[in-house]
A and B are shown apart, each in its own frame.
Chain A
Amino acid sequence: MKNPITKAALLVCLAITAASGQAHHSFAMFDQEKVITLHGTVKEFQWANPHSWIQVMVPGEGAKVTEWSVEMSGPGGLARKGWKPRTLKQGDKVTIVIHPLRDGGPGGSFVSVVLPSGETMGGDQFRVAK
């Protein structure tokens, strides 16, 4: 079975940083040097202040399924990037790129998502774009 989780330790040359989308708290718990690609099914899209979250169910080896928590910026910033409260819906099959938690837990900060339509959407990183 193809491993649904592709890990790549990359030197991030992008202007995506610890400050990306950061506001009321630091994103230092996420490893900005790494990106992980998750292939899974949306369980819940939490359009919430202070931060929005994507809960995505990711199948692993055998029958094991892991629920990943993907932290985004707040609704205001996302809305300006074209996001809506129902951009993601329960059951959507998605591919999500994240910066993973440093402690190895099933969570990370959002980088981008490929929607069922094939459209790719980014987050709120425009704030630090050069």
Chain B
Amino acid sequence: MYKSLVATFAGTALTVLASAAASAHGGEAGPVKQTASKPSGRPPAKSREKEGLPDWSGTWKVKGSMALISTENDRIFQRGLRDKAPFKPEWRALYEDEAARAEDQGNMQSAHPLVDSNTVYCHAGMPRLVATPFDYNFVPTRDLTFIIVGGPGGEPRFIYTDGRSFPAEDEMWPKFWGWSIGKWQGDTLVTETRGVKPGLWLDPTPMKLSDQAIVYERIRRLDAKTMEDRVRIVDPVAFTAPWEFVRHYEQIPAGEWADEHEICGGPEDRNPVVNGRVTVVLPKQPDGGAASPP
């Protein structure tokens, strides 16, 4: 399965990259690397060491909706009010069908509910990590930038800035967080992520990418209280055109303690997924009867 995926991936990667380069993200930068099939290398990154790293200290929260594109009222399941990715017709049809099923993910009477992949795996993965309800810590170091989403127990992203290329095609496989490399353009971190596990929801609705998607980002600090991530997703299988959006993060007051990531499962999780549905565990009623509608 992986061999097939990787072969398909590699076969289109350079085409995708060429397309991406022609319409550079934000009109400022193209892909980080165009050497998808080169083996790993690790040249030193002395220039960044000389320049120093930007100050991204503090803890941050996404501003606005967790949906990747905000709506006027944030009601994510109200179809027709929400912008969507530029899906090809067959992918849009799939999305519409699954969005309807997703509305029933807590409905025990529904025959075919669809449960959020974040619930199933207890991890968001990429590119959903761009916008979650959790804390963000952006930690640049010389060779590797960490984006820690969710504090202790959360999901850390690893973006390598040591000059490496992506692994050779037969050394990559789909990951929740994909494979990310980056380079510095001034105080902007320009990243590229490939090899994201297909089928993950991109936000609280079942938007999905193919296994050939590439996620480009430009991450920078706009001002003392604002971080910005400009995202551009190229998916030649699912999209008719690149999909671009911007998310901002606001700094939470200094002195706050790191939030603890939400832990799925265990006896304190009263929302188990049962028979493909998100459930609510209700206690027995005082008269000994089962919980029932009033």
Q: Residues of A at under 8 Å CB distance from B?
A: 5, 13, 15, 17-19, 21-30, 32, 46, 48-51, 53, 55, 57, 60, 64-67, 69, 71, 73-77, 79-80, 101-107, 124, 127-128, 130
Contact = CB atoms under 8 A, between A and B. Distances in A.
Contacts of A102: 106-107
A80 B116 contact: no
A116 B76 CA distance: 35
Contacts of B61: 127
- 4 closest A-B pairs (Cβ-Cβ)? A29-B106, A104-B293, A76-B259, A50-B262
A23 B132 contact: yes
A29 B76 contact: no
Contact of A32 (B75, B119, B279): B75
Given A24-B119, A50-B268, A105 B263 contact: no
B293 A127 contact: no
B259 A107 contact: no
A13 B280 CA distance: 26
B67 interface: yes
Contact of B74 (A19, A66, A76, A79): A19
Given A19-B76, A28-B102, A103-B107, A77 B66 contact: no
A77 B105 contact: no
B75 A17 contact: yes
A19 B66 contact: yes
Contact of B118 (A15, A24, A46, A60): A24
Interface in B112-151: 115-116, 118-119, 122, 132-135, 151
A26 B262 contact: no
